[in-house]
Structure 1
């Protein structure tokens, strides 16, 4: 069965990577993964917003990519060393801090793609997304971390398991199964996986190939490619058969590929 996260929306899917920060917004100090960035993605018509989850010193799950604040605020401390209130002050002129709870409540029609960056955040992410499991996809480079978040969501009473995409270990095993052309092994590796969210290349290794796309589709798994900002690349990848584009420029991608929310 198709998870509700995918239902009723067209492909190719446009996933707004860390929200949307246009060049104009960037020039005015708006940061990725801020309240303003998520709001801009929503206003542009994005159905899907990709974001990242860290835990503050006082236990709040916030949308933040890096483990520390240096790139976004100039502060060298870890997110886990800063209390929520202080982080709110630091982000006040950068588009505003947004917590996971605020994101889910403020954008009730948005479908979130959440990357659990911090191991300590997995249980809290699962608990918070449990009432919203139909519109959340949980992922992580760590398969153990994403599984912990999924288990926590079910333990917190989620009616269904959130959707999920493969971690690095699963993708490595999949590439091995494809190399030996073992269809049964591919099916076993992808059991319980809803999407593969991968770069087109990893160093010299080409990850996104016709063989990978075909194998994924045979097991009803979608392929989403990150991070694609050039329109010709978007069109070329969609031409290969990928199901979604993760992009910093959701506004551009929506113009090129469509996939806007109804009424936007």
Structure 2
């Protein structure tokens, strides 16, 4: 078994037998459950860091999430995928080609394979709006944990150790060869952190998001008090009246939908649903979301949005 220093250095742990916990989490004692959440009436919109502060630092890395916490984000968003050896890692794409120096599908790679890759250096020369981006972080190859592959357990530990209330919006990615095993593993990890069975949705610091209604159905069937968010990229006729899949209480429309169909937000609200909009980076889109009364703004630029809100 590897020691704690190896876990801290490489953001991985010993390989456990299938179905066994991969780390011994420090939560739930570090989690803050006593604040008002987005699932109860509130006076201001929640600012959610999309893949961390991903405009400033490489998405889905400790560097990005540390920056988001420092920036004052109310919540952190992450995507989760299941590795070949059964670990949940925070990676958006099906393949690692875009955001690392490796190649291949996450589902076909083991955690040790992913831990050997660099998920940070691509950001230093990324073309951004017609210029070479000057990221608000410094890539230090010797500090591997900051830009190594990030496990969901490690991210939850970071939040638990933050010292304040930070919510989590966790997105399951489908389709995948692992199908329902993703939700099973996810609920197992949340359970070890004391987060899988909140007394009510209003008290939960975690919500599960997906474009897959089937994924959300699996979550709701196993953990009925865990809030779920149905992500919407295209406004199909069956969704126009504000209905959502059974058991889902939060809609997650794209900012493009909100721009083109602002009345959709009102219909969702009238149906009793909350509205969490992604990905909102432009000041005029932030203003639109505020005007429409959305409940959460998911953004790559949490500090800029907070500044615009006067927070």
Fold shared by both chains (TM-score > 0.5): yes
Cα separation, partners in 2 of 1:173 and 1:113, compared to 1, 3 Å:
farther
1:124 paired with 2:151, answer: no
Q: Which residue of 1 aligns with 2:208?
A: 138
CA distance in structure 1 between the partners assigned to 2:42 and 2:155 by the alignment: 20
1:70 paired with 2:97, answer: yes
Q: Which residue of 2 aligns with 1:82?
A: 109
CA distance in structure 1 between the partners assigned to 2:84 and 2:297 by the alignment: 33
Matches within 5 A, 1:8-19: 10-19=43-52
Report Cα offsets for 1:108-148 as digits up to 9, x if no partner.
23211111014341211122223214211111111101222
1:111 paired with 2:167, answer: yes
- Indicate the SS of the match to 2:116: helix
Q: TM-score, normalised by structure 2?
A: 0.66
Q: Which runs of 5+ in 2 are unaligned?
A: 1-35, 119-143, 197-203
- Indicate the SS of the match to 1:15: strand
CA contact 2:217–2:247 (8 Å) conserved in 1 = no
Q: Which runs of 5+ in 1 are unaligned?
A: 26-30, 155-159, 179-185, 260-264
Measured on the aligned residues, the alpha-carbon RMSD in Å equals 2.8
Which of 1 and 2 has greater Rg? 2
Q: Which residue of 67, 70, 91 maps to 1:43?
A: 70
Measure how far apart 1:86 and its partner are.
2.4
Cα separation, partners in 2 of 1:256 and 1:151, compared to 1, 3 Å:
same
Cα separation, partners in 2 of 1:35 and 1:220, compared to 1, 3 Å:
same
What is the aligned length? 233
Measure how far apart 1:251 and its partner are.
1.1
- The structure where helix makes up a greater share of residues is 1
CA distance in structure 2 between the partners assigned to 1:169 and 1:17 by the alignment: 16
Cα separation, partners in 2 of 1:33 and 1:150, compared to 1, 3 Å:
farther
CA contact 2:233–2:254 (8 Å) conserved in 1 = no
